[in-house]
């Protein structure tokens, strides 16, 4: 069994003042998108940055430094999918990083907070097949979503 996974997190620049509390809690508890690591002993954060404002100039360069620090997976923070509107470039960003840097990209970090879930459900934001796939790692159940409000 692998003992440690090194990860980088890129957040949506709209939340650039965010202190990362929900992401770090979810990492520690292996909740939301971090549940894929339930069999890994330790998760180590080796990079944390923003996309660099729309249309995401930092996406082009930031993975390189994360990978130099050992990043094996890059996560797009949950803000990418819960913002109003969600990031319109998310699919392109994921494909670009995976193609150029040959590193896995996971969409999401902490569970979607329930208050965002309610509003996006009403708006129909995630009704398409594509968006259902994007939110799948962070959807979880209502109890956990509520704990991340
Ligand atoms: S919407 Fe997308 S490109 Fe714009 S700031 Fe957020 S993550 Fe970056």
pLDDT > 90: percent of the chain: 98
Quote the pLDDT of residue 133.
Answer: 97
Question: In this predicted structure, what is the pLDDT of residue 114?
Answer: 98
Residues touching ligand 1 (Cβ under 6 Å) are 12-14, 51, 53-56, 80, 83, 87, 89
For the chain, give every domain's residue range: 4-147
∠ CA 11-73-113, nearest 5°, is 40
CA of 53, closest atom in ligand 1: 5
CATH of the domain spanning 4-147: 3.40.50
79-114 pLDDT, tens digit each: 999 999 999 999 999 999 999 999 999 999 999 999
Structure pTM? 0.96
**Chain segment 9-22, per-residue pLDDT in tens:** 999 999 999 999 99
Cβ atoms 111, 32 nearer than 8 A: yes
> Of all protein residues, whose CA lies closest to atom 4 belonging to ligand 1?
54
pLDDT of 2: 73
Best residue for ligand 1 mutational test, from 10, 11, 13 (most atoms within 8 Å of Cβ): 13
Cα separation, 110 vs 78, whole angstroms: 6
Question: What's residue 1's pLDDT?
Answer: 65
Pocket test for ligand 1, best of 80, 96, 108, 125 (most atoms within 8 A of CB): 80
Alpha carbons 33 and 26: distance in angstroms, whole number = 8
For residues 21 and 31, give the distance between their C-alpha atoms in angstroms, rounded to a whole number. Answer: 13
């Amino acid at each position: 069994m692998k003992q440690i996974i090194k990860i980088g997190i890129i957040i949506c620049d709209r939340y650039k003042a965010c202190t990362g509390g929900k992401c770090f809690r979810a990492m520690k508890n292996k909740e939301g998108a971090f549940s894929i690591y339930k069999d890994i002993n330790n998760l180590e954060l080796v990079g944390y940055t923003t996309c660099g404002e729309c249309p995401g100039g930092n996406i082009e360069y930031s993975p390189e430094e994360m990978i130099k620090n050992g990043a094996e997976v890059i996560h797009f923070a949950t803000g990418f999918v819960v913002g109003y509107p969600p990031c319109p470039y998310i699919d392109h960003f994921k494909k670009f990083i995976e193609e150029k840097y040959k590193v896995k990209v996971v969409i999401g970090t902490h569970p979607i907070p329930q208050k965002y879930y309610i509003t996006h459900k009403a708006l129909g934001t995630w009704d398409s097949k594509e968006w259902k796939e994007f939110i799948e790692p962070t959807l979880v159940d209502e109890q956990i979503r509520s704990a991340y409000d």
